Amino acid sequence: MATVAEILRASGFTDEQISALDARAITAFSGVLTTAESAQADAVAKAAKAEQDYQAAKTAKEAAELQDRSNKEFWDNTVNPNLTEWDAKLKAADTARVNAEALAEFYKKQNEGARTAGFVPAEAPQFTIPAALPNGTPRAANGQYVPNAPGSTPGSPTFTMEQIDQRLGNGISNVGWAMQEYQRLTGGQFLPDSFDKLSEEATQNKLPFRDYVSRKYNFSQRQQEIQQRLQQEHDAKVAAERDAVKDAEWKAKLAERETEFAAKEKTWAERNANNPDQRVVVSSRIPELQRKVETKDLPDPLMMNENQRRANTAKMIRDTIAEKDHAAA
């Protein structure tokens, strides 16, 4: 842990400045530093503990899910089919036993009747039940084992060419799907694991091939990221088109105002130009000024001093400009 002096020295303080500090300030700084570092270490430890607990909970959850899938697979693929098959076999055996007993009783009565009538010698041997059934697994005429035959292992699997073709087709379809989906979601990257490894891992985790691959490579999260990016691009495009429309409208308004201002400026220039063909003809205002002087509406310029004449001239200029602006508007 760095000391207060080392931290101050790293911040640019000299040894003289550090020595000049009050000892109580150094102690207080040390207490604050110790508290901060302790809080930081505690936060790091808590974060590590939380991450460890999360990983442990995740591992336990995956193990529980795997055990649940294993139990379900065992019941669905082993127990339930065997129970169904054994029940059918028991019923068939009961039926065969009843039929055999009835047939044996029939032949027994015929044998006894034949002995009584003298058709069969009285010293002829009687039928006795064998002590044990003959051993051996039933085989077909070509020497192959016969699945599910009497005396064979219960639940022996049977496969047809249609089932084999279907499994091969499913395998090829899964391979193509995994390659295309991974490349689509990663921008054209190749699948990092072999198909044999993925198939083996899926079997170990008791999951369908596509479900396991989707979970391992986070296909759902990658798909959400792609959708979010597409949505952002769409929103940006819509905003750009909206801004372009607003800019076009604003430029059209500016052009309209500039055209209007140019027309007014042209009119004003023509009215005040020296060209007699374009300049607006106005009558002289001298008689009107003389009349206003005579009626005392305006002061007589000849009786004004210099300051009064300047003020009156400025007023007349302002009035003229105001009249022209009003006429131009």
- Is residue 272 in a domain? no
What CA–CA distance (Å, rounded) separates 258 from 277? 26
Report if residue 78 sits inside a domain: yes
- In a domain, residue 50? The reply is yes
Count the Cβ atoms, other than its own, within 10 Å of residue 81. 14
Beta-carbon contacts of 124 under 8 Å, excluding residues fewer than 6 positions away, are 115
> Given the structure tokens 């391979």, which residue do they identify?
175
In a domain, 43, yes or no: yes
Domain boundary (97, 118, 139) is at 118
Q: Return the H-helix or E-strand segment holding 114.
A: helix 80-117
Picking from 150, 157, 156, the residue whose alpha carbon sits closest to that of residue 90 is 150
At 131 the pLDDT is: 46
Domain count along the chain: 2
DSSP code, position 79:
I
Q: What would the two tokens of residue 35 be?
A: 């508290």
What is the pLDDT at residue 133? 42
Point out which residues pair with 145 in neighbouring strands.
Answer: 139
Angstrom distance (rounded) from CA 149 to CA 138: 7
pLDDT at 318 (0 to 100)? 87
Beta bridge partners of 139: 145
Residue 215 lies in a domain: no
Q: 14 burial class (0-12, 13-18, 19+ CB within 10 angstroms)?
A: exposed
Structural domain includes residue 139: no
How many CA atoms within 13 Å lie on the side-chain side of 41?
Answer: 7
Contact 279, 271 (CB under 8 A): yes
Amino acid at 143: G
* Token pair 């002096």 in the structure block, residue: 5
pLDDT on residue 239: 92
At residue 153, the pLDDT reads 53
pLDDT in tens, 24-65: 666 766 776 677 777 788 888 888 888 888 888 888 788 778
Instruction: Report yes or no: 233 and 239 within 8 Å, Cβ to Cβ.
Output: no
Give me the pLDDT at residue 245, please: 92
**Quick check: is 258 in a domain?**
no
> Each residue's pLDDT tens digit in the chain (329 positions)?
567 667 667 777 777 776 766 566 667 667 766 777 777 888 888 888 888 888 888 887 887 787 777 777 777 777 677 777 777 777 887 788 788 788 777 777 777 776 676 655 666 666 665 544 445 555 555 555 555 555 555 555 555 677 777 777 888 888 889 889 899 998 888 889 888 898 889 888 888 888 999 999 999 999 999 999 999 999 999 999 999 999 999 999 988 988 888 888 877 776 666 665 555 555 566 777 778 778 877 777 778 788 888 888 888 788 888 887 777 66
Give the domain range for residue 297: 282-329
Cα 141-144-149 angle, rounded to 5 deg:
85
Whether 156 is in a domain gets the answer no
Q: Which of 118, 139, 159 is the last residue of a domain?
A: 118
Last residue in a domain, options 118, 142, 168 = 118
pLDDT for 151: 54
Q: What is the pTM of this model?
A: 0.36
Question: Residue 224: what pLDDT?
Answer: 92
How far, in Å, CA of 249 to CA of 261, rounded?
A: 18
